[in-house]
Amino acid sequence: MGCPKAFSVSGGMGSALLSKPELIHDILTTLRRNLNTPVTCKIRLLNTRQDTVELARRIEKCGVPALAVHGRKVKDRPRDPAKWDEIADVVSALSIPVIANGNVFEYEDFKRIKDATGATSVMAARGALWNASIFSAKGKVPWEDFKTEYVRKTILWDNDIKSTKTTLREIIMHYICLEGTEGKGVIKCGSSADVA
């Protein structure tokens, strides 16, 4: 329930569900009843701290073993800082583990967000997408090295070309620009061999 993208929201998915607590309850309880695997979910912050805490408590009552909380509201953009203090409100209100998410770009950010929120664990998205070496205590490798290793692994594992291109576009947009030679080359790729 964290995705604010138009394709999700227009289909009634992602963050569109945040305003439908009864449907959230039905989905979570149905999944829990019919699956033999733990079911967790992820939410975004709501318009007020109290609304977020109330929704989190309702979700906890559905019996989920953990809840991920993205520290931005639906209207917030990725450039807006995550509100770790509002994640902390949820952590304080629940008895289940809370997974904090938002503004995790460096290895040190994992400790910083845990300390600031009291969360049990951390989820990283864009930071890991741009350079997965953020998980290394040794520090991030240069992005060019990460990109090269990523391409090597996608070829080795015969990764779907659309997925590979999407990730490469994200990496290149973050570090340079898609308008350059490399960015335009990725856009034109039709196979793993082209990517290489």
**Per-residue pLDDT for the chain (196 aa), expressed as one digit of tens each?**
999 999 999 999 999 999 999 999 999 999 999 999 999 999 999 999 999 999 999 999 999 999 999 999 999 999 999 999 999 999 999 999 999 999 999 999 999 999 999 999 999 999 999 999 999 999 999 999 999 999 999 999 999 999 999 999 999 989 887 677 777 787 788 887 777 7
Map residue 68 onto helix, strand or coil: strand
Give me the domains of the chain, ranges plus CATH numbers: 6-135 (3.20.20.70), 143-194 (no CATH)
The sign one gets for the Cα dihedral 88, 93, 99, 102 is negative
- Gap between the Cα atoms of 52 and 88, Å rounded: 11
- Gap between the Cα atoms of 110 and 123, Å rounded: 9
62 an active-site residue? Answer: no
Return the pLDDT at 88.
98
**Per annotation, catalytic residue among 3, 41, 62, 189:** 3
* Helices and strands in the chain, H and E counts: 10, 4
The structure tokens listed for 54 are: 């109330």
